[in-house]
Structure 1
């Protein structure tokens, strides 16, 4: 078994003082040598972190011991090492940026666990609706799902009219880990859709628990793995190389920092074109060295995991487990 873990989670649960809790949470991550991204907001908590198995277990136990976060449903995956290069714990207005005028604690779609979703997804009266960004569903999506050409969840109001004719159907929303669907499904209900469901735990949990059948391609993730396999039952490839058009589900960031597009590039073209998506990008004088992964972390020379941490006591922080 691999020695590292990746944890994906969220919870909508009121946090009275987000700034104070951000400092407490940052210190917890430092003590456990975790890296990743955590968002703290008055409405709850959202994070993806990586670390050694024992440290991840301690982290989950610490959050579950807090009554506000006892209901967190962690998605746990194995990894060869850290899937992040840095630790960032930030306070934001929302735990997933949407600007949608809804409150998931008051109303949201009916949650379906992976087994329930698996049984219902092929019902002729059901429509699956992908709530992720266009570059995410370009590399993988559920068979016959409706997708929107949107950059992020903020754009949903501009696209919801595309499914107005489906208001008599059972709508099941899905996303990577479930968090976008909490607000997206609530928004659909507010727009007059009556039978709205959501895949609880998202694509990741569906793959882990029931094998991911009928998820075509790979699932985009927000760490240095870029995409992960989900379907172990009937896997297929739905995307093609941006350069040569051959079937591929290998997504990278263009090596041109000016471009930096999320784009599917096969291994051969990645090597032949130094990880770029166009010849113009290949001529970029600031092109980044292509190492075969297509993942480029920001420069870390001045980075310290203590960045952004402020001890309220003003005393030096000792990181002891």
Structure 2
């Protein structure tokens, strides 16, 4: 039995005292010995935390004891070691950055797509009148996605609203949205409904829950996660690796951060190129004076960095 758990969760709910709640919540998590990253906003809570099984259970018990989080659902992974190094709790304007802040237009507490349980999603996804829509960013769906899914060329979820016109061709279809844990679909499906799409659904619990309850069938590749694991296996039924090495094009499912902290690009890189390039995406990054030591994992504890002026296709993750 694993000694540690990693919890993924979110909840859209009103937190009137969100800024103070964030400060108090950080102290509570530290007292439990947890590590992780949590975002608190007036619209709810979004987090991934990791720690001993006992600490994670105490955390879940405390959260569920608060009536504001009655609808919150924890997705639990057993891990060999904590999935973070430090504990961060931050107060922000949104629990997932979308730029959609008008509650009269987008409010997941009032209106979203119809929630499909994993088995329902699996049974529905291959119908002729259905379109599967991945609402995640480039670096996520390049690593793994559902077979035949429509993917969007976006660097961050906040770019999603600008893509609505490109999706207009699917207005006569049933739209099945999905993301890692479900949080992005809440706003994505709500926006689609607001823009005139009439038959919109979302995968309840996201890719992670689908892997646990439906065996991950037809999810190709791995699922990107926002902790030091970087990716997790999902498909135990018909797995397939679809991602390629950024440098040589070889098939690989290993995703890393560029060792140059001023680039920090997320990309897939095979072990051979990782050794050759010292964990960097380019020769320019290899020669950077602040290049970090590559230990084979490609994961680095975040520290404050100067503004990145390098234009890259794939940007580092900033959302849970």
When the two structures are superposed, what TM-score results if normalisation uses the length of structure 1?
A: 0.91
Equivalence for 2:84:
84
Structure 1 residue corresponding to 2:262, chosen from 258, 268, 291: 258
The equivalent residue for 1:160 is 164
- Classify the secondary structure of the residue corresponding to 2:142: helix
**Structure 2 Cα separation of the partners of residues 253 and 40 of structure 1:** 26
Deviates more, 1:228-237 or 1:21-30: 21-30
Question: Once the 2 structures are TM-superposed, how far is the Cα of residue 19 of structure 1 from its aligned partner?
Answer: 2.0
Three-state SS of the structure 1 residue aligned to 2:132 is: strand
Is 1:17 the counterpart of 2:21? The answer is no
Q: Which residue of 2 is the match for residue 304 of structure 1?
A: none
Q: State the match for 1:273 in structure 2.
A: 277
Q: What corresponds to 1:130 in structure 2?
A: 134
Tell me what 2:228 maps to: 224
Give me the CA root mean square deviation.
1.2
Q: Tell me how far apart the structure 2 counterparts of residues 56 and 237 of structure 1 sit (CA, whole Å).
A: 32
Displacement of 1:111 in angstroms is: 0.4
SS at match of 1:128: strand
Superposition deviation, residue 18 in structure 1: 0.9
Which residue does 2:152 correspond to in 1? Answer: 148
- SS of 2:126's partner is coil
Bigger drift between 152-161 and 9-18 goes to: 152-161
Alignment partner, residue 188 of structure 1: 192
Show the counterpart of 2:243: 239
Shift of 1:52: 0.2
Could you say which residue in structure 2 is the equivalent of 1:96? 96
Q: How far did 1:70 drift?
A: 2.0
SS at match of 1:216: strand
**Residue number in structure 2 paired with 1:294:** 298
1:107 corresponds to which of 111, 131, 145:
111
Q: Compute the displacement of 1:30 (Å).
A: 1.5
Residue 202 of structure 1 and its aligned partner are, at CA, apart by: 0.4
Which aligned pairs between 1:198-217 and structure 2 lie closer than 5 A?
198-217=202-221
How many aligned positions are there? 300
Residues 58-77 of structure 1 deviation map (CA, whole Å, 9 limit, x = unaligned): 11011111111122110000
What SS class does the counterpart of residue 29 from structure 2 fall into? helix
Q: What is the distance in 2 between the residues matched to 1:177 and 1:90?
A: 19
Residues in 1 aligned to 2:249 and 2:300: alpha-carbon distance in whole angstroms: 24
Offset at residue 186 of structure 1 (A) = 0.1
Displacement of 1:191 after TM fit? Answer: 0.6
Q: What is the match of residue 313 of structure 1?
A: none
In structure 1, stretches of 5+ residues that fail to align are: 301-321
Deviation at 1:299, TM superposition (A): 5.1
1:23 is displaced (CA, Å) by 2.8
1:298 offset after TM fit, Å? 2.8
Q: Mind listing any 5+ residue stretches in structure 2 that lack a counterpart?
A: 305-320
Matches within 5 A, 1:22-33: 22-33=22-33
Cα distance in 2 for residues equivalent to 1:284 and 1:24 = 40
TM-score, scaled to structure 2: 0.91
Whole-Å separation in 2 of the counterparts to 1:256 and 1:21: 35
Select between 92-101 and 198-207 the one with higher mean Cα deviation. 92-101
How far apart are the structure 2 equivalents of 1:70 and 1:35? 23
* CA deviation after TM superposition for structure 1 residue 27, in Å: 2.3
CA distance in 2, matches of 1:5, 1:213: 24
Q: After the TM superposition, which segments of 4 or more aligned residues of structure 1 sit over 4 Å from their partners?
A: none
